[in-house]
Amino acid sequence: MKALGYWLMVVGSLRLASVWFGFFNIWALRLAVFSQTTMSEVHGRTFGVWTLLTCTLCFLCASNPDNKPLYLATFLSFIYALGHFLTEYLFYHTMTIANLSTVAFFAGMACNITHLVYSTC
């Protein structure tokens, strides 16, 4: 369980960068993720708040990994993020395959590692 806590702290910390971009540098967020569409400042802030919520889940679960409902909510946040980005690429065409690949790699790795660590503990 200790490894899961460390992993979630790392993931939560990395998500803080997306929160920063969402609030203060939406053009970097647009270039890195949503390069096929225009983004307004409200879109960036909404993305930032959503990411802040998932970041909070990571930190809460890292400090209390034995709480199964909290773990499930955190795990599902990874699934929802991956689903969100897949629909943005497949249906709305707001992302390129390169941007999706980067996001999907990190979301998929986070999902797999979190599940693997939790299921072996």
Mean pLDDT of 14-23: 92
* Spatial distance between the Cα atoms of 53 and 29, rounded to a whole number of angstroms: 17
Structural tokens at position 43 = 């879109």
The full DSSP string for 71-117 is: HHHHHHHHHHHHHHHHHHHHTS--S-HHHHHHHHHHHHHHHHHHHHH
- Predicted pLDDT of residue 78: 85
Q: Is 41 exposed, middle or buried (0-12, 13-18, 19+ CB in 10 A)?
A: exposed
Could you give the percent of the chain with pLDDT greater than 70?
A: 90
**pLDDT tens digits for 88-121?**
999 999 999 999 988 877 777 766 776 666 665 5
